[in-house]
Amino acid sequence: MKNAATLMLFLGLISSSQAFTENNSILVQTQQKLALQNYDMESESEDDLNVQTVEEDGDDGIVDALAPQPGACEERLWLSQDELDWQMDQFSRKFNLQNYKNAMEIAKELNLKAPRVHTWELLDAAFSFPRVRRYEFVQQNMDMLEHFQDNLNTNISNSVNVDNFIRVAKTVVSGFNQKYHDGEFADPANTDPRVEAEKEPSW
């Protein structure tokens, strides 16, 4: 009987040890599954991130805040005074609201004052003959444009001023193009200072 009791006790210890080992194995497997699930969730979260700011060595660019058209490359804005001036110059020539927004965004990021709109100055120099520039039709339109340009430059962040200026400027330039299309008037929208600078000889 004593031997039988000892044998049963020994078998009981073995069973307990096996159960403990099996429980540990199950626990390890469960921990491994949880770790894999957490890894998959972290990977999906990283893939879903929409990174809009790019920071590379020597790269101070920001991606345009406005969403690009489907399939189009994202426009890149460079945080520099040159880019700021160019964007406002393009707005002064073409009255594209996106150029205005780009200029204001760059000015904000650089903590600079936005450049003045200078459409009147561009148009004033766009007439081939001084006599044409003195025509009453031209004078009246230029005076009207100057009024709305001054209003915009006084409060350049005012959206109402921006909309009014764009409307008047487009009307004025359209009238000039229709009336003086035989070389008397050269629309500034057809000229890009950057492109012209590239054409100049480097010597």
Does any domain span residue 129?
Answer: yes
Does any domain span residue 95?
Answer: yes
The mean pLDDT value of the chain amounts to 77
The whole domain housing 193 covers 74-199
Number of domains the chain is built from: 1
pTM, whole model, 2 decimals?
A: 0.63
pLDDT of amino acid 199: 81
Does any domain span residue 84?
Answer: yes
Does any domain span residue 192?
Answer: yes
Does any domain span residue 78?
Answer: yes
**What are 169-179's pLDDT values in tens digits?**
999 999 999 99
pLDDT exceeds cutoff 50 at 121: yes
What are the angstrom distances between the C-alpha of 161 and each of 69, 74, 117, 158, 165?
27, 28, 12, 5, 6
pLDDT exceeds cutoff 90 at 7: no
Does any domain span residue 179?
Answer: yes
Tell me which residue has tokens 């001054």: 150
Distance CA 38, CA 155 (A): 53
Does any domain span residue 94?
Answer: yes
Neighbours of 120 (CB within 10 A): 20
pLDDT exceeds cutoff 50 at 157: yes
pLDDT exceeds cutoff 60 at 43: no
Q: pLDDT above 90 covers what percent of the chain? A: 58
pLDDT of amino acid 145: 98
Q: What's the gap between Cα 68 and its chain centre? A: 9
Does any domain span residue 50?
Answer: no
